[in-house]
Amino acid sequence: MTGELLRTEQLARHFRIGSALSRRTLHAVDDVSFTIGEREIVALAGESGSGKSTIARVLARIYKPTSGEVYFEGKPLSRIGSRRDALRYSGLVPMVFQDPFASINPVFRVQHGVLRSLKLHRPGLSAAQRLTEAARVFEIVGLNADMLQRFPYELSGGQRQRVGFAQALAMRPKLILADEPVSMLDVSIRVGLLNLMAQLRDREGVSILYITHDIASARYVADRLIVMYAGRIAETGRTEDVLRAPRHPYTQLLLSAVPDPRAPLNVGAQTDTGEPPRVFDPAPGCRFRWRCPLVIDECHRVTPELRLLWPGHAAACHVAASNADEAASPGTSAAPYSGEVSA
């Protein structure tokens, strides 16, 4: 990571649910602070309902944050007012969606979306130059130029998802928001898409926010990992550091669901059957406490802050923070997390 590209500060997004007489507030995202560096892949991992896609839609300016701020290249998104600035930002931070077929117009040939993106975001190109550029980005994502003339139904799911990345790449982005881009693909072709994201980072200099529920794929491709639970960050740090020594019980739970062929068979192992809470008007306390095997009294009364346990590794857990304090030298304690992780 060479420099900071995007930063969120205490980001929150709430939704009002119900009728006028029984209105409640759904806390989809609460107090989320993190950074994304240049040429970096950051994985946002967690179960369905953890707030991952909501964060992506806030970053894409589909949702407005309830509170907090997002900074891109040091400038707050709340200052974007003109259509020109909004168009520039959407070109620099495009989104690749989960369903590759629904994100492409089935009536037109696949070149339509790429050429339209080029015409909108790079108006200086002529019609011939747009066709040349469309062929170039198709080659970058692993598709032949002749596929520009095909209809979406003539492509496989993996090829359609590559078209989505080509549409994003045509805008000359600095950050791609990839919302579960491999979850609807066969396992046999997922690795190809993950390798494509790594190539875009290394060869094109594009950063990627990779949203996933599959922590194994996050380990394969991501430089840093952010684990979400019930709208809050549970743990974050360099991917290998977090997965080698997870400190939050929820991260440990996610890892226990990943099969390891080298591990001995444990017939008596317990499995978790709980579901993430629906956070309507949540009371203070840890939102994972109902499923946590390490719960203590403080977990029911105090919402844990995300604290830096050691350089580059932070967790929002009373037990993990206490262990870090005990491991620290006398007179020191785990520091509050500022949203920045050392490289």
Give 247-261 pLDDT, tens digit per residue. Answer: 999 999 888 877 655
Reduce the DSSP state of residue 298 to 3 states and report it. helix
Q: Dihedral of CA 243/248/250/252: which sign? A: positive
Alpha-carbon distances of 13 from 72, 146, 260, rounded to whole Å? 18, 43, 36
Note down pLDDT in tens along the chain; length 343 residues.
Answer: 468 999 999 999 999 988 777 889 999 999 999 999 999 999 999 988 899 999 999 999 999 999 999 999 999 999 998 999 999 999 999 999 888 777 788 899 999 989 999 999 999 999 999 999 999 999 999 999 999 999 999 998 899 999 999 999 999 999 999 999 988 888 878 899 999 999 999 999 999 999 999 898 999 999 999 999 999 999 999 999 999 999 999 999 888 877 655 555 444 444 555 666 778 988 899 999 989 989 999 999 999 999 999 888 999 999 987 666 555 444 444 556 666 654 4
- How far apart CA 155 and CA 138 sit, in angstroms, is 13
Residue for token pair 């990571």: 1
Reduce the DSSP state of residue 154 to 3 states and report it. helix
DSSP states of 91-122? HHS-EE-S-TTTTS-TTS-THHHHHHHHHHH-
Q: What is the pLDDT of residue 20?
A: 76
Q: Would you say 205 and 38 are in contact if contact means Cβ atoms under 8 Å apart?
A: yes
Beta bridge partners of 178: 96, 210
Q: Would you say 230 and 279 are in contact if contact means Cβ atoms under 8 Å apart?
A: yes
62 burial via Cβ count (<10 Å: 0-12, 13-18, 19+): exposed
Please report how many Cα atoms fall inside a 13 Å half-sphere around the Cα of residue 224, on the Cβ side: 24
- How far apart CA 319 and CA 259 sit, in angstroms, is 26
Torsion of CA 225, 229, 231, 236, to 10 degrees: -30
pTM higher than 0.85: yes
Q: What is the DSSP letter of 175?
A: E
Q: Dihedral of CA 279/284/288/290: which sign? A: negative
